[in-house]
Amino acid sequence: MCIKKQKHTIMIVVLLGYMGSGKSTVGIKLAAELDYDFMDLDAFIEDQEQLSISELFERRGHIEFRKIEAKAVQKICRTHTNLVLALGGGTPCYGNTMDFLNQHPSVCAIYLKSSVKTLANRLVKEKSKRPLIANINDDDLAEFIAKHLFERSRFYNQAQLTLSVDDLSVKRIVQEICNDLDEYNL
């Protein structure tokens, strides 16, 4: 069990990792355990922009979407407390987002690290909901993920904490994060 928020100096726990790593699923349970609010960055952006993520990619393009993401992360971190925030898979890799998160005194960034195999098995079932992989052939998905993980790992690995989540239940992942937060007095 987590020591509740009053023990922690951290007020925003940011979950990052590749799409399909469990950021939103884990985030909801972690927020409940910490007695924090939960926010999914994509949902926040969709609400702010009044467009779905797919529509944003389509209408404004990849680069503009990444700028919107970076601004949203900064806005959320400046205006919220007692929050678990699940980022999009690419969010930490653009602009100065990782620098911002690591320098923010109230943020603890946690990388939910998954293997290519685990990610491919999860994502093949939900490709239509993921603009970045919607048009990738199932046979090519693992290779695409491996390439992206290689490119993004230098950003993901800048997180304050890393947790390998393959073969762990959501309950166990939440427990491990709570243990880490308690151990580091975050």
How far is Cα 173 from Cα 178, in angstroms, rounded to an integer?
A: 9
Superfamily for the 5-180 domain: P-loop containing nucleotide triphosphate hydrolases (3.40.50.300)
Average pLDDT of the residues of the chain: 90
57: nearest Cα among 133, 151, 161: 133
**What are the Cα distances from residue 144, in Å, to 23, 24, 114, 123, 137?**
20, 22, 15, 11, 10
Q: What is the pLDDT of residue 184?
A: 65
Q: pLDDT tens digit string along 99-117?
A: 999 999 999 999 999 999 9
pLDDT, average across residues 47-53: 93
Is the C-alpha dihedral spanning 16, 43, 133, 127 positive or negative? positive
- Domain locations along the chain: 5-180
pLDDT confidence band for 138 (50 / 70 / 90):
confident
pLDDT band at 57 (very low <50, low <70, confident <90, very high): confident
At residue 25, what is the residue type?
T
The arithmetic mean of pLDDT across residues 57-79, rounded, is 93
pTM for the structure as a whole: 0.90
Report, in angstroms and rounded to the nearest whole number, the Rg of the chain calculated over CA atoms: 16
Residues in contact with 109: Cβ distance below 8 Å, sequence separation at least 6, in sequence order: 14, 16, 92, 98, 101, 102, 158, 159, 160, 161
